[in-house]
Each structure stands twice: as C-alpha cells, then as structure tokens.
Structure 1
Amino acid sequence: MPISDYYKKIRRKIGTDLIFMPSVAAIIRNDDNDILFQKPHDGEYWSLPAGAIEPGEAPAQALIREVWEETGLRVKPNKLLGVFGGESFRFTYPNGDQVEYSVFVFECNNIVSGELTPIDGESADLAFIKEESKPKLALPYPDFIFKKSASDNAYFQWENNWL
C-alpha cells in the first residue's frame, strides 16, 4: 500500500509540509550473503525494503508487514542494527510530500517463506545484490550497517555526536 489512510488524513490537513515519520527498514540476506534492495516505481534511487510504522504497530511488526507488502517475503527480524534520523533523513517525494524519517533498521537473516514478488505495487524491481556493489540509496545509511560483521550492538547516531 503506497500510503496508508492514516497518512492520507494527515496529508489532507497539512498538504506537502514536512512531517515526522517513524519507519522501519530491513537488511535481508540470502544464502549467498547478498542483500535485498528495492527500486520504487516513483524513485530514481534504490532503497531497502522499508516503510512507515502505523498507529498501534510495534516496529518489528511494521517491518514484517512492510517487507511482505514490498517483496512477497515473510521474514523474521533477528537484530536491531541501528536507529537513524534527523535532517539527513529528510526526503521529498516526486509529488512534493516532505518527510523526515526516524528509521529502525533491522537485520533479517531468516526468510521464513514467500516468493520474491512485489505485493503492493510499490516496487519496480527487487534484487539481491552483493554488499560491495550496493546501488546508490535514497537515504544515507552508513556503510557499516551493510557489513556482515556488523557489531552486536545497535548503533545510535548520538554515539558520534555527543560523547
């Protein structure tokens, strides 16, 4: 589903002005350690399978739902890799809608079921790509979260800015 009824109601009230959007994103690996990337229909850049958290949803629930809607895969998140946001995570959609994402990025090494096929019509292309060949992404995720050897600790942006 490209935009939920909840966000449609907000957009009717404020137009294209900037809104905060709690979101989730998944780093999904296949058996060859390639990472799944999604090319949206309305974007020039690739992204991770991702989407907004809806009212009443926990971040992990939103992740499972969003990944299925965009990829046709059922996944089980196994680790929180980091939480990202701020000005560098602002994005303007082709229709002018402005958002500032706060993104929970999860690692999902377990594809439970499904076939790689878009369900909701948002994905123009889905591809497992080697880490070293990752495409240019719409949001500035740090490179280290794509490393298979990422730390066991979740990353929070304040770690480099405040301490």
Structure 2
Amino acid sequence: MRALTYRTFYRLPGRWRRRIVRTFQPTYTIGAVAVVRDPQLTRILLLRQPPGAGWSLPAGLMDRGETPVQCAARELAEETGIKLPPERMRAANPNAIVHTRGQWVDMVFETEVEPGVELVVDSAEVIEAAWHRLDNLPPLTVSTSQLLAHYAIGPYKDYPEVREA
C-alpha cells in the first residue's frame, strides 16, 4: 500500500505534489538574527523594542528572494543604522536555531563593530539601542536569552536543557 501511494504521488504534476506537501507538513517562518559584538568581544549590541519588556537582538523576517545573510544585514541597518555589507557577516555556529514550539527558524550571523559607531534607531520598531557588557547584561527577552545560550552568552548559558528545547 505504501509503495502504491508513493508511486501515485510521484506521478502527479509537480505543483500538485508541492501543494499536498505544504498542506500536510508543518510550515516554519524563517528569520535572521545579527549578533553584533565589539572587536574585543566584551560587549554586545542589544535593542529594546516595544513593548519594552526586555532587550533583544537585531533581527527580522526574510523577504521573498532574500538570502538569510542579506536579511541579517538589512535588519541591522534598519534597526540600528549600522550598514554593513553581507560579506562582513559570518554564519554563527550553530547557524540555524529551530524553534519547534513556535515553528520558526532563526538563521544567526555574527559580526564585530566598533562601539563608537553612531546608532540610529527606527523609532517605529526600536525604543533604544545600546552596547552592553557581556558580564553585565540587562534583562533580556526569554527568546533572546534562549538564543544567546547557544553561544554561551547570557543568563541561560549554563543550562544545557535550554539549548536542547
């Protein structure tokens, strides 16, 4: 029965197969995150966004036709005024953080920037942007704390179960 189902499925036109797969498989939203540190790796750039309950990282959803690294560079520029070419961003390790409960994937990129660079925030999206010492971080959003734990940063860095969630 299973073999017959597969044979039938692969005889269908490609667009029908895609529609069937998209109907029955979970879908994920793809976003890109920029982890921006100073060259000495002692400070990190964080944003306070509405409603302002905690600090987060420059991030956003990919536009159609955009690559994850282009998205990370675009979001960094839109939210902080820091314009970097995508070539200045490198894939973090791990590069993809899959959030199965919320069904989204964060593609994470790292870069270094001198803290003296002028920050120009988009007031529609960002209340404040500031550099923070890694050993004295402000209150972070839960999702930011969980993401940074993958890179041994923040309040959850010593909790391996957070990285596995």
TM-score by length of 1: 0.63
Identity of aligned residues (%): 24
SS at match of 2:122: coil
- Give the letter for the 1:136 counterpart: L
- Match for residue 143 of structure 1 among 142, 149, 152: 149
Aligned to 1:81: 93
1:102 aligns with one of 100, 105, 123: 105
Would you tell me which structure has more strand in proportion to its own residues? 1
2:85 matched to 1:72? Answer: no
1:59 to 68, 81, 87: 68
The 4+ residue runs of structure 1 with deviation greater than 6 A are none
Of 116, 132, 153 in structure 1, the residue corresponding to residue 135 of structure 2 is 132
- Structure 1 match to 2:28: 20
**In structure 2, do the counterparts of structure 1 residues 70 and 44 end up closer, same or farther at CA, with 3 Å as the change threshold?**
same
Quick check: which one's helix share is greater? 2
Deviation at 1:61, TM superposition (A): 0.4
Which of 15, 31, 49 aligns to 1:40? It is 49
| TM-score relative to the length of structure 2 | 0.62
CA contact (8 A) 1:71 1:118 kept: yes
Larger RCO (alpha carbons 8 Å, 6+ apart): 1
| Native 8 Å contact 2:46 2:55 kept in 1 | yes
Q: What is the Cα deviation at residue 146 of structure 1?
A: 5.0
Q: Which amino acid aligns with 1:54?
A: D
Q: Structure 2: which 5+ residue stretches go unaligned?
A: 1-26, 154-162
For 1:79, the aligned partner's letter is A
> How far did residue 86 of structure 1 move?
2.3
Specify the alignment match of 2:124 in structure 1.
Answer: 121
Larger radius of gyration: 2
Equivalent residue number for residue 5 of structure 1: none
- Count matched residues: 122
Question: RMSD value over aligned CA atoms?
Answer: 2.9
Shift of 1:37: 0.5
SS, match of residue 64 in structure 1: helix
Q: Which runs of 5+ in 1 are unaligned?
A: 1-18, 91-99, 148-158
